[in-house]
Copies of this chain bind each other. A is one copy, B any other.
Amino acid sequence: MTSLEALCVQRGLRLTEHRRIVLEVLEAADDHPCVREIHRRAADGHRIGIATVYRTLNTLVEAGLVKRQAFPDGKAHYERAGRPSHPHLIDVATGTIVEIDDVGLESLLEQEARKLGYNLVDYSLKLFARSR
């Protein structure tokens, strides 16, 4: 049983083709597409409205299957969740996003949160940089 099927069973949701497609697009993505782009990929060969993509992504984010990130372009970008968080490098000249291997920050960040009386749930690290 896939995690999507599990989600649907647990939440009393219907397992629709559209939900499968959106999740597949994110499984296949090695970048961080915005909604418009996810819709473009999902609509390739299928009939799916952009409102459905928005609704599906919200469902998947709530379920924890997908992660939403606020990017400086003012749009939300998405990626499949489950993998550990990792930093992103953003080329300030071109907007290109590069994934970075975890530099071993997680435990450091956990300590920092604990000091303030919190438990770390997740983190987001963006490096803004210029190519040389």
Contacts and interface: CB of A to CB of B under 8 A. Distances in A.
A72 B122 CA distance: 13
A112 interface: yes
Copies of this chain in its oligomeric complex: 2
Most chain B beta carbons < 10 A, residue from A87, A108, A118, A123? A118
Contact of A123 (B113, B116, B125, B132): B125
A63 interface: no
A114 to B, nearest CB: 9
Contacts of A74: 70, 76
A92 B121 contact: yes
A120 interface: yes
Contact of A89 (B87, B116, B125, B128): B116
Most chain B beta carbons < 10 A, residue from A68, A74, A109, A120? A109
B127 A123 contact: yes
B72 A89 contact: no
Interface in A101-130: 103, 105, 108-109, 112-113, 116-130
8 contacts: A70-B72, A91-B118, A98-B116, A103-B112, A117-B132, A121-B129, A122-B128, A123-B128
Interface of A: 68, 70-72, 74, 76, 87, 89, 91-92, 98, 100, 103, 105, 108-109, 112-113, 116-132
